Structure 1
Amino acid sequence: MPPPRPAESRSDAELVRVNRGFYESLWAAAKLIGPERFNTWPLLRGLAAAAPRRLEVAPGLRPRLPLDGTCFVDLSHAALRRLHASGARAVHGMIGALPCADASFDLICALDILEHVADDDSALAELARVARPGAHVLLSVPLHPEAWTAFDDFVGHCRRYEPARIVAKLALHGFTIEHSAVYGMQPKSSRLLDLGQWYLIHRRERAMWWYNRVFMPLSLCFQKPLQWHEGLDHAQDVDEVLLRCRYRPAAQPSH
């Protein structure tokens, strides 16, 4: 098992290339799946209804917030075209330089993003910039560097987080974790993972067809219900977590 590659070892340009190469192919052959189809919907529906100004960063074609009334920012032109065709407001951009005004949003969703960027502090600073004080911010991250696999590297991950590290890093930017939920699990079969990766490398078009037409629909049918837990104390054996944070900026010093 290769060790995790530190963020400093991968430039933003390299990460953009890796992520664009993987996800642009994925979204070019995929259909948009509405947020109500995902097991995140029961947890996010009430938050979305109570937030008049919403942002979702890099949803691809798997948005978790309502299409109506949410601003979507994504790097993939294929995803943006399909979001536009569904009536969504979607603009091109990256988490490190969001095309949004300061203090614009009451609810921000950025799932499976932080592990993909070299400078996660800059990404969190951008989320803090566009969040209103008191805003809810939803993030998901993979945990435990020792759980690293070749697939993490293949899909463009920079890192996995130790639970204490992500708590401290979020706090530095004004985010407090209020609740978390077990969000994803590493496949138990390394052989199956290796087979899937081989097909993605050597038979990309065929692998994407099977994923979009067979495996993704099946996975939607077998999703497990998610449940909020207070804080992040339950994450010792968890592969990935969904975090519900509250943004409370530090008070500015008076002059």
Structure 2
Amino acid sequence: MAGNKRFYDALWADARLCAPERFNTWPLVSELAARATSRLEVAPGLRPRLPLADTQFVDLSRPALSELRRAGARVANAMIGALPFRDGAFDFVCAFDILEHVVDDDGALGELARVAVPGASLLLSTPLHPDAWTPFDDFVGHYRRYEPEAIRALLARHGFTIERSAVYGMQPKSSKLLDLGQYFLTHHRARAMWWYNRVFMPLGMRFQKPLAFKPGFDPAPGVDEVLLVCRKAIT
């Protein structure tokens, strides 16, 4: 966790806040947000997907929290495994690219389930397939990739069912590009962070494709990352 915090503190210290409307998640998010009365997004950094107004954001990175607060968001400095909210506080919860970064993913998902009211929506994205592991996963602080059945079972254990899913993420297909990026992040970090924040991230956002959702969760072979739309059971 300390390594993750150092990496993302450095990343967000030289980054600009991106409006949620700029991401290809916005059509889905705006649809679900319109039906929600209380919203939580965990660890967005400076790439929040939920509307800034009237959403509670939680992050470990103080540079990210400062920018989010300056933009009018409600923020709290906390970890996903110890959320400072009462049981059933939210009816819309998001955690994009988070579970793979925490040691105790079962405890983290348990906290998301605890603060979610029965019937709440959960948006969750995560990388797939342990055999697709690269040195870049190590570098950005991943602890795991999930087999589809493993993430489905983990969600079910905490009362969530997957309603629909889509291929997600901006990872380059070329392993050479990933190796080059890792080299510069290792040996020329300040310059690499500048290029990522000011050039590659804006380009990636410009060429995002609309998300294509399918009912349930049955990823095709070779899918690197998925976005899952889940629902907490009503007991």
Which interval holds the TM-score relative to the shorter structure?
A: over 0.9
Find 1:214's aligned residue among 193, 199, 214.
199
1:205 to 160, 182, 190: 190
Matched, 1:21 2:12: no
Q: 1:195 aligns with which of 168, 172, 180?
A: 180
Alpha-carbon distance in structure 2 between the residues aligned to 1:146 and 1:234: 15
Name the amino acid aligned to 1:203. Answer: H
Q: Which whole-Å CA distance do the structure 1 matches of 2:219 and 2:108 have between them?
A: 26
CA contact (8 A) 1:185 1:240 kept: no
Give the match's secondary structure for 2:168.
strand
- CA positional deviation for 1:235: 3.9
Higher Rg = 1
Q: Separation in 2 of the partners of 1:219 and 1:188?
A: 13
| Aligned: 1:99 with 2:88 | no
How far is the alpha carbon of 1:217 from its aligned partner? Answer: 1.0
User: Would you say 1:136 and 2:113 are equivalent positions?
Assistant: no
Question: What is aligned with 1:62?
Answer: 47
2:109 pairs with 1:109: no
The equivalent of 1:78 in structure 2 is 63
Could you give the per-residue CA deviations for residues 205-245 of structure 1, whole angstroms, max 9, x where no partner exists? 00011111111111111001102111111343210000000
Question: 1:227 aligned to 2:222?
Answer: no
1:85–1:186 Cα change, 3 Å: closer
SS of alignment partner, residue 238 of structure 1:
coil
For structure 1, which runs of at least 5 residues remain unmatched after alignment?
A: 1-15
TM-score by length of 1: 0.90
Deviates more, 1:233-242 or 1:165-174: 233-242
* CA distance in 2: counterparts of 1:17 and 1:165, whole angstroms: 26
**Runs (5+) with no aligned partner, structure 2:** none
In the TM superposition, residue 186 of structure 1 has moved relative to its aligned partner by 4.1
Q: What is the root-mean-square deviation of aligned Cα atoms in Å?
A: 1.0
How many aligned positions are there? 235
Residue by residue over 1:110-160, the C-alpha shift from the partner in whole angstroms, topping out at 9 and shown as x without a partner, is 000000011100001100100000000000010000100000010000000
CA distance in 1, matches of 2:81, 2:167: 26
User: Percent same amino acid at aligned positions?
Assistant: 68
1:162-201 equivalence runs, <5 A: 162-184=147-169, 186-201=171-186
Taking the aligned partners of 2:35 and 2:105, their CA distance within structure 1 comes to 28
Task: Provide, for residues 183-211 of structure 1, a one-character-per-residue CA deviation record: whole Å limited to 9, x for no partner.
Answer: 02642221111111011011110001111
Match of 2:226 among 238, 241, 247: 241
